[in-house]
Amino acid sequence: MKTKAVVLLSGGLDSATAAAQAIADSYELIALSFRYSQRHERELQAALQIAQAFPIQEHQVMESNLS
């Protein structure tokens, strides 16, 4: 049984690399992303693509209003 880990997946290079390293280290991943502004939508779409490309068990997108 693999150890579970949560990765905060922004859609950027750093969080994608962290997810890839956790997978390489045999963790079972759950990804968490936040939707918080219109400018952020492009990064959120990248996070969704990363979550689909990687063996991520679950990807949750949380809504947040920071305005």
Q: What is the pLDDT of residue 41?
A: 86
15 sits in which H/E element: helix 13-24
Q: What distance in Å separates the CA atoms of residue 54 and residue 49, rounded to the nearest whole number?
A: 9
Cα separation, 54 vs 59, in Å, equals: 11
* Tokens read off for 57: 């068990």
3-state secondary structure of 61: strand
pLDDT value at position 22?
Answer: 97
For the chain, give every domain's residue range: 4-63
Model pLDDT, residue 38? 64
Q: Please give the pLDDT value at position 56.
A: 96
Tokens of 51: 């979550």
The tens place of each residue's pLDDT in the chain, 67 residues long, gives 889 999 999 999 999 999 999 999 999 999 999 988 767 789 999 999 999 999 999 999 999 877 6
**Triad 63, 65, 66: Cα angle to 5°:** 130
